Amino acid sequence: MANIIDLRSDTFTVPSDEMRKAMFEAQVGDDVFGEDPTVNALEAYAAELFGMEAALFCTSGTQSNQIAINVHTRPGDEVICSNLAHIYIYEGGGIALNSGSSVRLIEGPRGMFTAEQVKANINNRADVHLPNTSLVCTEDTVNKGGGAIWDFNEILKIQEVCKANGMALHCDGARLFNALEETKMSPAEYAKAYDSISVCLSKGLAAPVGSFLVGSKEFILKARRRRKSMGGGMRQAGFLAAAGLHAMKVERFRLHEDHAHAKAIGSVLSAMPYCAEIMPVETNIVIWKPTSNSSAEMIEKLTPLGIKCFPFGPVWLRFVFHRNVSSDQVQELIEKLQELQLDEGDFNLFFQRFEDS
Ligand SMILES: Cc1ncc(COP(=O)(O)O)c(C=O)c1O
C-alpha cells in the first residue's frame, strides 16, 4: 500500500509536540466556577485579539454556532444564511432543534450573498403570518464554496442592513484565520462588522478540541448560560485551552503553507485532462469535478495511490491541505496526479479539449 496522503479534512490534524507540551504543563481549575486560569487566559486572549468585549471557550464549532444562534433568536424567528452554510447542512438540524427557528436560504456564488439579497429576504414584521427575521449568518471561509473568502465590503453592507432592521449578524468563522491570513486583515478590524463570531481551533490550527465565541459582554454572559444548558460546561478544560492558545499564538502563522500547497495542486489539477472543473483556490481547500462526473469513480482511482479524500456530493471531490500534509507529500501528490492512468473516455475528452483550444 502506498504512503497515505490524507486530504480528507483539516479536522484530522494532530497536535504538534510543542502543543502537547503546552497541554501537559497547563495550569487548570474548575472552569464552571470560572477558576481555570488557562481557559480564562484563552478567553481574554481571544477577546483582545478580536477587539471584542468577551469570549467563551466551547467544545466545538457546532456548539459555538448553535449557542450564538440560540442567543440571537427566539423560537419562531427566522435565520438568513446561504444554502451551502454549515449551520444549515451539517449541524444536525440544530437551528430547528435547539432554537426553534426556521431558515431562509439564499443562493449566491460559492456560498456568498449580497446585502441586497438579505434585504429582499427580510420578512415584514408587521405581518403576523411571517416569522420574525432576527439573524443573518455568514461563513468565512466558505467550506462548500472551496474555501472562498468573503468580500469585506459586502459584509459591511450586510451589517448596515442588519442594523437598520434590528437583526444580529453572526459569522461561522470555523476557518476565519485562513481568510485573514490571505487578506492580511487584523481579527479586530474584521470583527467590527459582526455581533458575534465563532472560530475553530481544531481545524487548520491543529488543536485536538475546541472553538470560541467572541461578542459583547452581555452576549457572552447569555452564551455561557446556553453552553451550560447544552452540557458544554467543562471542568479542568485548561488542558484543552492550552492547546487552543498555542494554536492561536503559533499554528496560526503557518497557514500560508497550506494555502501554497492547495494552490499548487489546484494549478496541477486544472491542467489535467480528467479534471472538468475546479473552484478558484483561495485558501486550503480544493474542490474539483472529474470529467467522469462521478466522485465515487474518481475516489476508486485515488485510493490505491494512497490518496484519501472526501466526495462533496455525487460529482465533486474535496482536497484539504493542513499541517499533516508535508511539502514532500504535496510533491508526491503532484507526481501521482500527473501520472494518473486515464481510461479511454478520459482520453477522448482530452483530445476533444485539445482540438477545441
Ligand atoms: C464551516 C464549518 N463550520 C462549523 C464546523 C463545525 O465544527 P465542529 O466540527 O468543531 O463542530 C465545521 C466543521 O467542519 C465547518 O467546516
Q: Which residue's CA lies nearest to atom 6 of ligand 1?
A: 61
- Cell output for 316: 465533486
What is the pLDDT at residue 3? 85
**Is the CB of 62 within 6 Å of ligand 1?**
yes
When the pLDDT of each residue in the chain is averaged and rounded to a whole number, the result is 95
Q: Which residue's CA lies nearest to atom 16 of ligand 1?
A: 143
- pLDDT, one tens digit per residue, over 179-214 is 999 999 999 999 999 999 999 999 999 999 999 999
Which atom of ligand 1 is closest in space to residue 63's alpha carbon? 11
- pLDDT, one tens digit per residue, over 239-291 is 999 999 999 999 999 999 999 999 999 999 999 999 999 999 999 999 999 99
**Is the CB of 284 within 6 Å of ligand 1?**
no
Per-residue pLDDT for 226 more than 90? yes
Q: What is the DSSP letter of 276?
A: E
- pLDDT, one tens digit per residue, over 278-295 is 999 999 999 999 999 999
Distance 12 CA to ligand 1 centre (A): 12
- pLDDT, one tens digit per residue, over 296-341 is 999 999 999 999 999 999 999 999 999 999 999 999 999 999 999 6
**Is the CB of 180 within 6 Å of ligand 1?**
no
Pairwise CA distance, residues 274 & 186, whole Å: 39
Identify the band that residue 350 occupies on the pLDDT scale cut at 50, 70 and 90.
very low
pTM for this prediction = 0.95
Pairwise CA distance, residues 20 & 291, whole Å: 43
3-state secondary structure of 121: coil
Distance 202 CA to ligand 1 centre (A): 9
Pair type for strands 307-308 and 5-6: parallel
Q: Which residue's CA lies nearest to atom 5 of ligand 1?
A: 61
CB count, 10 Å around CB of 231? 9
Question: What domains does the chain contain, in order, with CATH numbers?
Answer: 5-11+254-344 (3.90.1150.10), 15-252 (3.40.640.10)
Tell me the sheet residues that pair with 171: 138, 197
The b/e string for 135-144 (b: 16+ C-beta within 10 A; e otherwise) is bbbbbbbbbb
200 touches 174 (CB < 8 A): yes
